[in-house]
A and B are shown apart, each in its own frame.
Chain A
Amino acid sequence: MSLSIALRVERPGFVLDFVLATEARAVALHGPSGAGKTTILNAVAGLLRPSRGRIVIDGAVLTDTAAGIHLPPQKRRVGYVFQDARLFPHLSVRRNLLYGTRFAPREPGGPSLEAVCDCLGIGHLLDRRPATLSGGEAQRVAMGRAWLMRPRILLMDEPLAALDEARKRETLPFIVRMRDEMGLPILYVSHQLDEARQVAAEIAPVGRA
């Protein structure tokens, strides 16, 4: 894959400049809190419009402010695993997982629900409601939901930050396993360097790292 990001985001009291061009499968954005790591993910996902910038994934131009291009999130096929999971509380785990599939490309080749559940160890949770899941389980379901929508790239925003130490140790191997089975590029955000190194070969510093 090739990923190229060049951004400038200006907010009152906050300016972020970020440039990244990489061929690596997994890249970790690392930097202190408030440096703008989540802002970068939001710009890649199309949830935030940068003041200036260009974002290209494998030749697909998602944002190019100079050319007036800024695709809405719906058109980007960018899978996003949020720090707080954001599962739909009124839907079962199964319907959460399958939510994006009806908007995904029709041609065959995507992962099956079974394969995703096996990889992430969530097959026994399918009929549960999100409110009954532990933090680690909810994150794994969120990962599966983003994977099943057949994205071009997976964004992961500190997926372990809300978990305690034991849950972190338990969940990290699932992330590594998914990375290897999924065959999709990952943009991973973490403020913990050892965690970032376990997921990604390449570390991109953000802010004063």
Chain B
Amino acid sequence: MFTEAEWAAIALSLKVTSVAVLATLPPAIAVAWLLARGRFRGRIVLDALVHLPLVLPPVVTGYLLLVAFGRRGPVGAALEQCCGIVLAFRWTGAALAAGIMAFPLIVRAIRLSIEAVDRRLEDAAATLGAPRAAIFATVTLPLALPGILGGAVLGFAKALGEFGATITFVSNIPGETQTLPLALYAYTQVPGGETGAMRLALASIVIAFGAVLASEWLARRTRRGA
């Protein structure tokens, strides 16, 4: 049904998206907690900064990534020198772009769910002797879990569809950075690409549908466990 190149694009998309979401979750949870529970100067600035990828044109985000993480960019050069990590024009760069684009949505969903956790329960845990980190791990996090799963699915969808920042930052290299949306776009640029584009469109629908079903199933399991 799919050509080898199409399978490669689908597999790459799944890899890039999964890595992007998994790597984004821990910092997203930390930032969401800071925004929901923290009382510090500059919270509004952090909030605005987190939302930036949501409101900026994706091309701008991709361009800034290229400037910073390109092989001659300040961060990119340092990363290559210290750890041998190159992001520009690699699938890891695509994951970085997808993760950054998904970050605001994930933080937002998790922040809302942390804000919905009853602080009086956290107070109760404190009187029972639990240090702050233990309160977070045993009370806040488990009670916010449905929101965290929701945020992960939202982030997955956003990362899967990420186009502008990816193509600007890591280009459209088949087998390396050509994710599903980029492959579909490439089909639309050549004569006779319609059926290939349609096949990839169908693949996107199946993946997105599967992600929603999986999240429903997970949410139901956590609710039953709760």
A residues within 8 Å of B by Cβ?
45-47, 72-74, 76-80, 82, 84, 86, 88-90, 99-100, 103-104, 145-146, 149
Q: A82-B120, A84-B120 are in contact. Are A89 and B226 (CB under 8 A)?
A: yes
Count how many pairs of residues, one from A and one from B, have CB atoms less than 8 Å apart in the complex.
59
**Nearest residue in A to B118 (C-beta to C-beta)?**
A86
How would residues 167 to 211 of chain B score, 1 for a CB under 8 Å from any chain A CB and 0 otherwise?
000000000000000000000000000000000000000000000
A146 to B225, CA, bound (A): 25
Q: A86-B120, A88-B121, A90-B143 are in contact. Are A80 and B127 (CB under 8 A)?
A: yes
B51 to chain A minimum Cβ distance, whole angstroms, is: 30
12 more CB-based (< 8 A) A-B contacts, given A86-B121, A88-B124, A89-B143:
A46-B126, A47-B123, A72-B126, A73-B123, A73-B126, A73-B127, A80-B127, A82-B124, A88-B139, A90-B142, A99-B130, A100-B130
B126 touches A78 (CB 8 A): no
Among B121, B129, B130, find the residue whose CB has the most chain A CB atoms closer than 10 A.
Answer: B129
A146 to B129, CA, bound (A): 10
B128 touches A99 (CB 8 A): yes
Contacts of A84 in B (CB 8 A): 120
Contacts of B118 in A (CB 8 A): 86
**Nearest residue in A to B226 (C-beta to C-beta)?**
A90
A46 to B129, CA, bound (A): 11
Pick the 8 closest A-B CB pairs, nearest first. Answer: A103-B129, A100-B128, A73-B126, A86-B124, A80-B127, A90-B226, A73-B127, A90-B142
Contacts of B226 in A (CB 8 A): 89-90
Contacts of A46 in B (CB 8 A): 126-127
Contacts of B125 in A (CB 8 A): 88, 99
| B131 interface contact, C-beta 8 A | yes
B121 touches A74 (CB 8 A): no
Contact residue among B124, B132, B138, B139 (Cβ-Cβ distance under 8 Å from A80):
B124
Contacts of B121 in A (CB 8 A): 86, 88-89
A24 to B131, CA, bound (A): 31
Give 10 CB contacts A-B under 8 Å: A45-B127, A46-B126, A82-B120, A88-B125, A89-B121, A90-B225, A99-B130, A103-B130, A146-B127, A149-B129
A74 touches B130 (CB 8 A): yes
B76 to chain A minimum Cβ distance, whole angstroms, is: 43
A79 to B118, CA, bound (A): 19
A77 to B128, CA, bound (A): 7
A74 touches B124 (CB 8 A): no
Contacts of B138 in A (CB 8 A): 88, 99
B129 touches A100 (CB 8 A): yes
Contact residue among B120, B129, B131, B142 (Cβ-Cβ distance under 8 Å from A77):
B129
Contacts of A72 in B (CB 8 A): 126
B129 touches A74 (CB 8 A): yes
A99 to B128, CA, bound (A): 7
